[in-house]
A and B are shown apart, each in its own frame.
Chain A
Amino acid sequence: MNIASVAVAAPAGAGGRALFWQRVGPLLGLLILCGGLSLASPHFLTVDNLLNVLRQSSINAILALGQLVVIITAGIDLSIGSIVGLTIVLLALMMKAGWPWGLACVAAIAAGATVGLLNGLLLTRLKLPHPFISTLGTMNVARGAALLLAGGVPISGLPLPFRDPVAGEAFGIPAPVLIAAAVYALGHVFLARTVWGRDLYAIGGNREAARLCGIPVDRRLNLAYALSGAAAGLAAVVLAARMNSGFPLAGQGAELDAIAAVIIGGASFFGGVGTVGGTLIGALVIGFLRNGLNLLDVSAYWQMIVIGAVIVAAVTIDVLRQRIAGS
């Protein structure tokens, strides 16, 4: 995806101005952040450190992409952290049982997609009133299942042929970063260029109009949540390789950073708005923020406060943008 294409000439009118900020704002924020951090710490702007940040942001970036797909439809997926926990345990169990690691990875991703589909069906078939409720339920169920399957303890000692490629490097770039990049490229094409992707924007932007124009809303929603679950499965694969462990508490709280990345990246909580590029920037903002604060020896507690403040700031900007666009 081309981040440079994010900077576009501002079309005339108040709506155009708001649009301009929606596109350029997150990138600007990231650049200012990096600028500030490079001034604050001499260790920041080194190749090693930057690669480190990218590697550490990969997992959140993958989760955030899945979350973006759901948020575009004006929904939310609280269960992705638990799906990571469940699929990482399944992955570890499969590999310990002797499955070829490639197959195990695919199966883990498929398992994630299945739980995601369950989220979708709870919404579209059972007609639960809001995805907050359906995914809150699966969040707990999946976590419980993960703990049950793992017997409450981590499963470590995963095979080297698995860990080396997935957590290693290629051409000097960490493999998780390459995986995330590939997923983002596919995600961009999916959302911006396919019928499914455009339909998701329509559903989030005006569900009634979408329905009246024959878009199969239920089918698309199921797809969105399945994709979110699959992303969680993929994140679990990368995490397992890096940690050499299938630990049932994996991903606890991960949904929050993922949602934060999507929102900071300029997506609208109300649906219909959001880009893959923006989400990438959002994930990088969080990654750089954590990294920078670490380099500056800021305590982890303060880091939480800062991230919280950034989220509120990002949403406030979203609200202001809506108001400008509406006037």
Chain B
Amino acid sequence: MSPGPPPLLHVRGVSKRFGGHHALCRVDLDLFRAEVHALAGENGAGKSTLMAILSGALRPDEGELVWDGRPVSPGSVRAAQALGIGMVHQEPQLVPSLTVEENIALGRLPERLGPLRMVARGRLREEAARALEPLGAPIGPSQRVSELRLADRQLVTIARALSVGRLAPEVNPGARALGADATSWLRPQTPLGARLIILDEPTSSLAAAEVERLFDVLRRLRAQGAALVYISHRLEELRALADRVTVLRDGRVVTTSPMAQVTGDDLVRAMSGRDVAALDAGASAAGEDVLLEARGLTQRGRLHGIDLTVRRGEVVGLAGLMGAGRSRTLRAVFGAAPRDGGDVRVRPAEDAELRPVRSVAEAMAAGVGFVPEDRRQQALVLTASVQENVGLVTPPGSLRRGLLVRRVLRAAAARAVEALRIKTRGLETPVRVLSGGNQQKVVLGRWLGPHVRVLLLDEPTRGVDVGAKAEIHRHLRELAGRGLGLLVASSELPELLALCDRIYVLRQGRVVGELTREQASPVEVLRLATGAADRGAA
């Protein structure tokens, strides 16, 4: 243990299980006052679960939390807030039609006149001013949140997190009953109400200048004695801001050290550390013919001049961290998202020329298919049958004199069930009763026709069990073998490494690297994706 003041929050041996899955395993962590502690790790490493426990949203199965020398177990978010723990979520949870001060005090409005429950405007204004002051931003407490830019809205959520611990128990007797120490707010008045502030990827929607302003704010809070936990994938941010860093992997703490003593490469190695799962790679079927070509793909503020090619028989991957623009790129290629610049050209048949496509209709007519990221919200009609869902993309030959020919639709659905080994009681079964893996197969089953030349897939095996995952991978390789070109965006590195002949790595809306199968490795992809590659070894 380091000499000096004791930690504000000491996390000891915390574990959390969800069903059979160990999200956290005996995690130890110390959070000190006047320190920015970075928390790094891949998706699924356990960061969100740990923060949910600290912020009171979840209870740990094992282990204890020691707050200022006393063991505590906040059983709810309100209880954690009463202790002085504020959380800033990635998605700002604000009510746009209410004012800044009302949002800061959402659910904890100061009251007067007893049973009339009138809002105490004076105290509301005071509290908002006090919470906004350390932020130094030109935000008026009486402004409506709908008038604010995204970056300023972010600051309002931080102000809300800051004012935690002051408004809660003072005016809401109910909070006392929640098991929090009701006297925590009686402590000598600090400039802040919150003493520990957790920030989850706060910059994922901010521009560079706004990020700098946010950092100034956070440094100021640190100077005033707050403990801050900063979660981010962006290593350059961690380096700029954090004092110490903890890396989580598979629910365990891999390392905790002062930021100055670790290099970008060290972090990447600590985050990714595992062996590539032994997935059968299979022979590459890639040919020479370019089937799809995107040039200079731009979406204002989000995608900047992306170039991609997909060849016949090739499986091309899109890798990158959350927010890098993988889904957006796929949707822009397909025409489902707006393009402010650049073009996409597709070769609709063997001997045809590359033809520009500008919309979903044109893309589909040229033989491009799309499997979206969220099958439940974006791909399936859950109440409709397997047959109807497969037939959502009208198979060729299914229209006779403008009317649907049921026989053709049934045949197409039956073919899908057989080719993909979909486990369903029948073609009329509503898809909502199928498992995730089988639902995903239904979506894939739409794109089996001979006219499909290029398939764009966004997270093709998300939420799919191991068995179905292997079958889907086998299917994708088969499609490639038949001469289709595939473009696969995925946040699962092992999947991309096993499937792809080439991988484009995206970062902040740009292609920052292109790796062949031989060149690609988890470390290499992460290096490019996090920007550690730019910094070299420092």
A joins B in a complex: yes
Residues of A within 8 A of B (CB): 11-13, 15-16, 18-19, 193-196, 198-199, 201-202, 204-206, 208-210, 212-215, 268, 272-273, 325
Q: Which 6 A-B pairs have the closest CB atoms?
A: A213-B107, A205-B95, A15-B147, A272-B97, A209-B93, A214-B107
Q: Which of B93, B97, B108, B118 contacts A201 (CB 8 A)?
A: B97
Nearest-CB residue, chain B, relative to A206: B95
List, sorted by A's number, 13 A–B pairs whose CB atoms are closer than 8 Å: A19-B146, A194-B119, A196-B117, A198-B102, A201-B98, A202-B95, A202-B107, A206-B95, A209-B93, A209-B94, A210-B106, A215-B106, A272-B96
Chain A residues within an 8 Å CB radius of B106: 202, 209-210, 213, 215
Query: What number of residue pairs across chains A and B have CB atoms under 8 A from each other?
Result: 75
- CB neighbours (8 Å) of A273 from chain B are 97
Tier of interface size on chain B: 20 to 34
When distances are taken between beta carbons in the complex, the residues of chain B under 8 Å from A13 are 147
Q: Across the interface, do B98 and A202 meet the contact criterion of CB distance under 8 Å?
A: yes
What residue in chain A is nearest B96 (Cβ atoms)?
Answer: A205
Residue of B nearest to A325 (CB): B146
Minimal beta-carbon separation of A129 from chain B (angstroms): 13
Question: Taking the complex as formed, is B28 at the interface, i.e. its CB lies under 8 A from any CB of chain A?
Answer: no
Hey, which chain B residues are within 8 Å of A202, CB to CB? Answer: 95, 98, 102, 106-107
Contact of A210 among B107, B111, B143, B144 (CB under 8 A): B107
A19 to B143, CA, bound (A): 11
How many Å lie between the Cα of A139 and that of B143 in the bound state?
40
B residues less than 8 Å from A195 (CB atoms): 109, 111, 117-119
Q: Which residues of chain B (113-133) have a CB below 8 Å from chain A?
A: 116-119, 121
Tell me if B147 and A16 are in contact (CB < 8 A). yes
A15-B148, A212-B77, A213-B107 given; A205·B98 CB < 8 A: yes
By a beta-carbon cutoff of 8 Å, the part of chain B in contact with chain A is 77-78, 93-98, 102, 106-109, 111, 116-119, 121, 143-144, 146-148
Whether the Cβ atoms of B109 and A214 lie closer than 8 Å is no
| Contact between chains at A215 and B107 (CB < 8 Å) | yes
Name the B residues within 8 Å of A193 (CB-CB): 118-119, 121
A198–B119 touching, CB < 8 Å: yes
Contacts of A208 in B (CB 8 A): 93
Contact for A198 among B78, B109, B144, B148, CB less than 8 A: B109
Residues A213 and B108 in contact, CB atoms below 8 Å apart: yes
Is B148 touching A214 in the complex (CB atoms < 8 A)? no
A36 to B506, CA, bound (A): 61
| Structural contact, B93 and A212, CB atoms closer than 8 A | yes
Q: Return chain A residues, CB-CB under 8 Å to B97.
A: 201, 204-205, 268, 272-273
A166 to B116, CA, bound (A): 28
Q: In this complex, what residue of A is CB-closest to B172?
A: A214
Of chain B, the residue at the smallest CB distance from A72 is: B97
Q: Are A210 and B77 in contact (CB under 8 A)?
A: no
Q: Is the CB of A206 within 8 A of B118?
A: no
**Closest partner residue, chain B, to A18 (CB atom):** B146
Which residues does chain A contribute within 8 Å of B146, judged by CB atoms?
15, 18-19, 325
In whole angstroms, how far apart are the Cα atoms of A195 and B148 in the complex? Answer: 24
Closest to B95 in A: A205
A18 CA / B146 CA spacing, docked (Å)? 10
Q: Which residue of A lies closest to B175 (CB)?
A: A214
In the complex, which residues of chain B have a beta carbon less than 8 angstroms from the beta carbon of A325? 146
Complex Cα distance A12/B96, Å? 16
Residues of chain B within 8 A (CB-CB) of A19 are 144, 146-147
Contact yes or no, B144 A214, CB < 8 A: no
Closest chain A CB from B328 CB (angstroms): 19
Chain B nearest Cβ from A270, distance in angstroms: 10
Q: A198-B109, A198-B119 are in contact. Are A209 and B95 (CB under 8 A)?
A: yes
Q: Smallest CB-CB separation from B97: which chain A residue?
A: A272
Q: How far is the CA of A199 from the CA of B117 in the complex (A)?
A: 11
State the Cβ distance, A192 to closest chain B Cβ, in Å. 9
Assuming A19-B147, A210-B106, A215-B107, what are 15 further A-B pairs, CB within 8 angstroms?
A11-B143, A11-B147, A13-B147, A18-B146, A193-B121, A198-B102, A201-B95, A201-B97, A202-B98, A205-B95, A205-B97, A206-B94, A209-B93, A214-B108, A215-B106
A70 to chain B, nearest CB (A): 16
The smallest beta-carbon distance between A221 and chain B, in angstroms, is 15
Q: How far is the CA of A16 from the CA of B97 in the complex (A)?
A: 12
Nearest Cβ on chain B to A145's Cβ, whole angstroms: 34
Measured CA separation A11–B152 after assembly (Å): 15
Inside 8 A of B147's CB, which chain A residues have their CB?
A: 11-13, 15-16, 19
Which residues on the A side are within 8 Å of B93 (C-beta)?
A: 206, 208-209, 212-213
Report which residue of A13, A16, A214 has the largest number of chain B beta carbons within 10 angstroms of its beta carbon: A214
Tell me, in angstroms, the Cα distance from A194 to B96 when the chains sit together.
19
On chain A, the residues within 8 Å of B148 by CB distance are 15
* Chain A residue nearest to B174 in the complex (CB): A214
Complex partner residue of A194 from B78, B108, B116, B144, CB under 8 angstroms: B116
A15 with B95, Cβ < 8 A, contacts A194-B117, A209-B106 known: no
B162 smallest CB distance to A (angstroms): 15
Complex-state Cα separation, A254 to B461, whole angstroms:
53
Q: A36 CB to closest chain B CB, in angstroms?
A: 32
CA distance A212 to B89 in the complex (A): 11
Given the complex of chains A and B, what is the CA–CA distance between A44 and B106 in angstroms?
47
Residues of the A chain whose Cβ atoms lie less than 8 Å from the Cβ of B95: 201-202, 205-206, 209-210, 272
